[in-house]
Amino acid sequence: MTEQKQTNQEFFKVKGEELLEKIKEIIKEGNARRIIIKNEKEETIVEFPLTIGAVGILLAPVFAAVAAIAALVTDCTVVVEKREED
């Protein structure tokens, strides 16, 4: 028997200059499985999975990408997929 876990999503509207801090906050919480960043037209700009134990230097490329995106967008939506635990 395969165990299926429910995934839920949270949506955050943020300004470009607030994007990096919001992503850091989400990662620090530790229960996010995937983060998706969408532009004003709700088109996906970038999507990246987060794995348990991915800290420090492994997240440096993610932060660099998010900082570059923040410089280019004015408003965006951050979609956080979280897996619900039993």
CA-to-CA distance for 47 and 35, rounded, in angstroms?
6
Q: How far is CA 83 from the centre of its chain?
A: 13
The proportion of the chain whose per-residue pLDDT surpasses 70, expressed as a percent, equals 80
What is the pLDDT confidence band of residue 54, given thresholds at 50, 70 and 90? low
What dotted CATH number matches 7-83? 3.30.1490
- Alpha-carbon gap, residue 85 to 12, rounded angstroms: 22
Whether residue 9 is predicted with pLDDT greater than 80 in this model: the reply is yes
What pLDDT was estimated at residue 27?
A: 85
Question: Does the pLDDT at position 3 exceed 70?
Answer: no
